Amino acid sequence: MMNKEAAIRMDEQDPLKIYRDEFYVKKGQYYLDGNSLGLLSKRAEKAVLSLLDSWKEYGIDGWTKGDNPWYYLSEKLGEMCAPLIGAKAEEVILTGSTTANLHQLLATFYKPQGKRVKILADELNFPTDLYAISSHLAVHNYDASYMKLVKSEDGHLLQEEAIIEAMTEEVAMVILPGVLYRSGQVLDIEKLTKAAHERDILIGFDLCHSIGSVPHELHNSGVDFAFWCNYKHLNGGPGSVAGIFVHEKHFGTRPGLAGWFGSDKSKQFDLSIEMTPADTAGAYQIGTPHILSLAPIYGSLEMFREVGIEAIRKKSLQLTQFFMDCIDQELAPFGFTLGNPKDKTRGGHIYLVHEEAARICSALKEAGVTPDFRAPNGIRLAPVALYNSFTDVWETVQILKDIMENEIYKKFENKRGVVA
């Protein structure tokens, strides 16, 4: 039986409950959109102020002086981030944005030859990845038919066997999400990587919706490359600097898009006409790092280092299971269906499907719950392990129940806002 007492009891037993106070959580509100933008933590705020102080104190000497010299900050944060994805420190660099980093990886590793010219992706992927893929195909004078899309049988989930079946001899590269951004389905990265490599195909993963909520073993799985943002589960702030993983077996591959911050650090300020790339993932940086946008990630990663991704995943699964159990018990009569996997192949959010989803999201916001609407009829709800509680989940379901019982959603239009 799901009830508030059960939620309170689970909160009392939660070993991660102390971290809720690390975040700016508004009293009486329930923030469940951490899979779009994580909340600000006090450590992230402190890290920004510390970096500002280094600018104030040292001026240009901040590049080499202070507690966190700016010149090496991207590498330092890459090292801190590496355990979250099962990578070696030198295989990770924090730089650029999700899309810019994908452009870099495509420019570096997409080398169509002979029959192998197509890029395999999926129709459920976040569109920015598909836009980037299309643009690189166009550079090589290939039209849209050269982007091979795996179809979904139900519009929510992908069949891994269908993905593998699509890895034919015409495919040069595969780009897939680690977690599907709508339904939260976790793909088996090790299985898919093994299948791709058996067919001599390079494979890379978009980890935007998995990093910080789902553990990965990218190095041991042999993944060729990966890219991600840091403002969702990693709470790095809006538009924070993103990340790149490149497996060490590819070190020495010259960056497709060269820039001076991809240089060997010891030679960068030689300012030679001929670039000497770094012999790590740092080679795939392009421009000067955005120091003030790197700063909050430092504070956030300190917490992840303390807690460990396995503990975060454990609580995340408990929260989403409790959420689904409460929905089954309390909301059964109101026409909701779950679009996310119900087993442990789900990521850090649940995906509620309802024909009135946009209106329901508006009603939730009015009632103090922050959800995420996905057209045409999806509601994403992400209880984040570091700052959401089981009581948050229970109260959110009760608010949803009230919205449906009293038809409060009907006073809103069934359409999304400009930003959804």
Count, in order, helices (H) and strands (E) of the chain.
12, 13
Q: Answer whether 248's CB lies under 8 Å from 82's CB.
A: no
CA gap 66, 407 in Å, rounded: 57
CA distance 32 to 394: 12
Catalytic residue check, 380:
yes
Phi then psi for residue 279, to 5 deg, are -95, 30
Residues 6+ apart with CB under 8 A from 148: 118, 119, 120, 121, 166, 170, 171
27 is catalytic: no
Binding residues: 98-99, 126-129, 206, 209, 231, 260, 288
Q: Which one from 71, 380, 387, 392 is the annotated catalytic residue?
A: 380
Q: Which amino acid is at 108?
A: T
Catalytic member of 126, 142, 251, 412: 126
Rounded Cα gap, residues 178 and 205, in angstroms: 6
- Separation CA 238–CA 415 (nearest Å): 24
194 catalytically annotated: no
Rounded to whole angstroms, the Cα distance separating 224 from 303 reads: 28
CA–CA gap between residue 242 and residue 99 (Å, rounded): 9
As given in the structure block, the two tokens for residue 223 are 């993944």
- What residues form the annotated binding site for pyridoxal 5'-phosphate? 98-99, 126-129, 206, 209, 231, 260, 288
Query: Annotated catalytic sites, by residue?
Result: 126, 206, 231-232, 380
